[in-house]
A and B are shown apart, each in its own frame.
Chain A
């Protein structure tokens, strides 16, 4: 066993908070919007601890699937009783298979010389612009949506709200804001893309 394996094992035994994003204000905002708007076959991308997907599953009639890139997040979400798929964004979902896709993306703009380079960074960092994950998501999510499907996407003012809206519109979406809350350092919005 290498030193790195030992460190991983210790981290696993000491608790998971270092590895998996736990619910916060942004999660609550997305959950509220999703409980109101989600319907049909619903996917939460980047589910992290699985908390948002669990709220949707509990509070609506939607059939919920959760996905994450991180295996440990997938395990935590599964422990909540959710159907879980380890995936890169929407890559392994069929064309037009989903009625609702919800996503609280990693969005913090990050200095490339000062990245943490661990799993929590992957859960938080949106690269230099804050949009390194949001952009490929916006460019691919249309494929998996059903004819009247919707996307619920959390956007922070730190990420460049106008840039995210413009990218969504260039992918053919009509964009509306269904929730918005201001905090000391950022304003969080939930966009609905149709």
Chain B
């Protein structure tokens, strides 16, 4: 959403004329202070700019809150250039690109997104000579809609007319546009065909669309109500977005929520902060929707493609649509006449937590207090952990686990999996130690997940998995130190998992028999307990495996006697 002047092509063209190849593209960045409400933690960037040429020297995109940004020193190589680190910029998503840009995407198949491209170009700047420039827009409006929060902010800005000439009374679909909406004080937009009942109030930044009927004694604040809606008596609507054709029964309260086309809300329903009601859902009567509930209605025949395109991928709901089965509507949560399913948050998986983050952000103002900043500064003093490394490690772990999981399902040869894991290892620059630990942990996790319902079957399953991967384990546990890593991570996992703990002896025995772990390593591990904080004390582990160790020691003695 932007009303920028597109004059920025001129400096770009000048640069291109001076030098044919170097200036690759110009990013349009909008300056907005860190506390600006249009900013969300999802879209923070820190940019190092050369003040004289406006060249982008470093571009860091925060994918999550991290305490430090690391700027490479080579951007400061030239003492004459003035470098400024800026955190008050947001990416507008407008880029002026040279014809080489599509070519670069073709040549470098690992560039998945534009951010990969920027990163790649900046890293290879010395070799390839490509440069990226920035155009900082200091005036006019420009903002992107990429989550609920920004939807809310941009919509509010449109109603407040920051985006002039793109304001609600100028609509393209109606021929005599200017006459259709009446603009009242405090940014109220009422369509001429809408009707308002007795004693109903519409306050502060609201819009009511064509043919919408509002009953008596309603109160509507900071909300957008679409075309052809019917809102009965005594409703309170605050900070919400209601699309077309929605019917809301009397005495309902809707706070900071999102209601899509043709939804029916029966009377006496309370929709709390952060709810999303998808297309054609019915809710009520007389029910409280918990804050953050997402209700959807999708038949099993609908898969990714149909359903609600507006909501699916853009708002992170897409991947969950296929999980649905034919089942009765969630009447308990949605009321007797409810039609729809409550979307369960899947906290376990990565995207699930992402989506819940988005939902949490909806309607919440981000407060930048000096208190929290300074305290975070203090804690940052002690915080030595490198967040970027950490991130790599988790992605690596996830990838390895996925590979191993797929390996069992599709019965892939261990050799091929070794290749796959090794390529991940290089991609994320992991050490051998990390790989060994990750592989061990992943295998145990897979077994745990498979037998989540029936812990008694745990070892049977684990044994099956381990048997399948004996060649792989042998490959990674060739020397003593790897084996030590393996056994310690096994211990670490067992400390937090009772099922594993119970069959630890069997696992050790299995690994010993298959030559994955040697006798010396097991004995060394046994005599050198590492301090692992978990639900069980390391001593407990030693107790569990005592018999096995004794047996091993005896066997060794016998061996030496024979010699």
Q: Do A and B bind each other?
A: no
Q: Which residues of B contact A (CB under 8 A)?
A: none
Q: Which residues of A contact B (CB under 8 A)?
A: none
